[in-house]
Amino acid sequence: MKEYEAVVIGGGPAGMVGASELGSHGVKTLIVDENDIPGGQLVKQTHKFFGDHEHYASIRGFEIAEKLRGDIQGLADVEIATSSTVIGMYPGNTLVYAKDDDIEVKVSYKKLLIATGAMEKQLPFINSDLPGVYGAGAVQTLMNEYGVMPGKRFLIVGSGNIGLILAYQLLQSGVEVRAILEALGKIGGYLVHANKVRRLGVPILFKHTILRAIGDEEVQGAVVAQVDDKFKPIPGTEKELVVDTICIAVGLTPLTELAEQANCEIRYIPELGGYVPVRDERMRTTNPDVFVAGDISSIEEATTAMIEGKISALSMIEEIKDVNLEKEIERELDTLALFRSGPKSVRIRSGLKKFGVKQRPVPSSSQNGLQIGPAGKLRAIVDCTEEIPCNSCEAICKFNAIHIGENINSTPVVDYDKCTGCATCVSACPGLAIYMLKENPDTSTATLGIPYEFLPIPEVGQKMWGMDGNGNYICDVTVKRVIKNPNKTNIIYVEFPLEFAQMVKHTAFPQKSSPIICRCEEVTLEQIEQAIDSGATDFEELKRLTRVTMGPCGGKNCKLIVLGILSRKTGVPISELSHGTSRPPVKPVEFSLFSKGGDPK
């Protein structure tokens, strides 16, 4: 039996940061991880992470894993056991792990850090055992680690960050995401993550759940339905989606078995993710030799996991080496409190209270509205209005044009006198929530620079489609400039008619299937263009021929887009085109409204 001062179980962000801290203080440490390469969930994350630069904000997950691996591999006192699964905890601070499935290894420790993370929750529905039903993380593993794409048309259940990120990664891989279902009436994850997939045309269906998978041998579709406030499906709202893969992303549940075996008290705290080890502010469990960090202690982000890993390691070092690390620990606890002070962490804060872990006082955060900035200047528009713990834009801006302030959850405020239009923030923003905009009144055009993480990269001069925030076609755009960035968040500058300056949020290559322009009457771009090609010269003629704008919304949604198409095809500026006559009712009303035959005068 080998003896170590410290053993860390789990090579995810919490475990690796913990091991690295232990090792750099000269603690003889073993880190045990069941995968070939340590990194945990980070290795399959291709998106840039939120947070601050100290905690690897703006860096992609798998690259953070590489950095953390580099940190521990360089430490003489840290031993790494990969492909090693801890099978049990035994008396006398002993644990046993299976190396490569065939070697039994017994080790003992003075102090133990359990950072086993979490596993995906399952969702019961009819036929959920059909091939083609996956956990979201499983699909990420298949796709991003092994290069296997398990399907072509996906349904994702759950709009937490995992579901949203998976949807984005699937779209990057060129497959279709039919919908994301969310049982609640709002986005589970970060709004910026949701916006990334919405502008690519993925609908997020609120108050919806899956009832069953369709298929005999494999998934061929799904029946989904609306749910009421008690999450009960509402009869009559069922609809079928043709999908071949269903991904369940309804949350994670902490992996506490080893903590339990190590005699740590486990309590059910739903706010933290389910059964979790009871622990104090410094991550010590009810077993004084055992600490926890990361998702095992509360389901959160990688940033908080890393900070917790550091706090537990520092607490362990104090006792192993008999040193005073009070200052360092206090500093980390303050940072952790800052990260947890936003509205997205309400549940975590109330869950921790149940352990007696109180939220430390922090400077308050502020939520600021969307700034449009001075028209005509090339400038950054920061579409980040939800308080989340991230300040990568503020940190990257060399001109101090973006301010977040003391609390990292505050939303950014741009100082447009200082913004030079350099677009550094566009490629740094993990939420892809920043774009560049300039109005050009001379040519009646707008220039838009958007973050672009798809292949192929568009070429200058290419015609593309300009899409709105929900992935609807707005107008044709021309690629004017392409900036290829080393971090793979490229910037594509496109130009299009000025009228659409505030509407275009993304670009897409023209598709074979024509986009729907008028959603009320289901009129496609192709139908409108055909009507113009056959001789229609006026908006009113187009309307009569195709029914465009004639539905219940009366053209509120698409009239300008139709005028834009007509203008592009005929060369007549929008301002010179007739746009028809507005008629009552502005909103459809029932005949019964007039049942009395008129309001007496």
Which residues form the interface with other proteins (CB under 8 A)? 534-538, 540-541, 544-545, 547, 550-552, 554, 578, 581, 583-585, 588-599
Q: Estimate the crossing angle of helix 539-546 against helix 525-533, to 10 degrees.
A: 120
Q: How far is the CB of 536 from other proteins (least distance, A)?
A: 7
Instruction: Determine contact, residues 426/468, Cβ cutoff 8 Å.
Output: no
CB atoms inside a 10 Å sphere around CB 76:
8
Q: How far is the CB of 526 from other proteins (least distance, A)?
A: 17
Q: How far is the CB of 529 from other proteins (least distance, A)?
A: 15
Q: How far is the CB of 174 from other proteins (least distance, A)?
A: 36
Q: What is the DSSP string of 529-559?
A: HHHHHTT--SHHHHHHHH-TT-STTTTTTTH
DSSP designation for 60: B
Q: How far is the CB of 537 from other proteins (least distance, A)?
A: 7
Report the DSSP beta bridge partners of residue 95. 89, 107
Q: How far apart are CA 23 and CA 492, in angstroms?
A: 44
Residue 489 or 549: the one with the smaller Cβ distance to other proteins is 549
Q: How far apart are CA 222 and CA 153, in angstroms?
A: 11
Residue 124 or 584: the one with the smaller Cβ distance to other proteins is 584
Q: What 3-state class would DSSP assign to 114?
A: strand
Q: How far is the CB of 424 from other proteins (least distance, A)?
A: 49
Residue 236 or 585: the one with the smaller Cβ distance to other proteins is 585
Q: How far is the CB of 589 from other proteins (least distance, A)?
A: 6
Residue 175 or 550: the one with the smaller Cβ distance to other proteins is 550
Residue 516 sits at the vertex; the CA angle it makes with 510 and 519, to the nearest 5 degrees, is 155
End-to-end CA distance of the chain: give it in Å, rounded: 97
Residue 500 or 539: the one with the smaller Cβ distance to other proteins is 539
Strand (E) or helix (H) holding 247 = strand 245-248
Q: What is the DSSP string of 473-486?
A: EEEEEEEEEEE--T
Query: Residue 219 has which token pair?
Result: 């998934």
Residue 230 or 596: the one with the smaller Cβ distance to other proteins is 596
Residue 509 or 594: the one with the smaller Cβ distance to other proteins is 594
Q: How far is the CB of 543 from other proteins (least distance, A)?
A: 8
| Alpha-helical segments (H) within 375-423 | 392-396
Residue 324 or 581: the one with the smaller Cβ distance to other proteins is 581
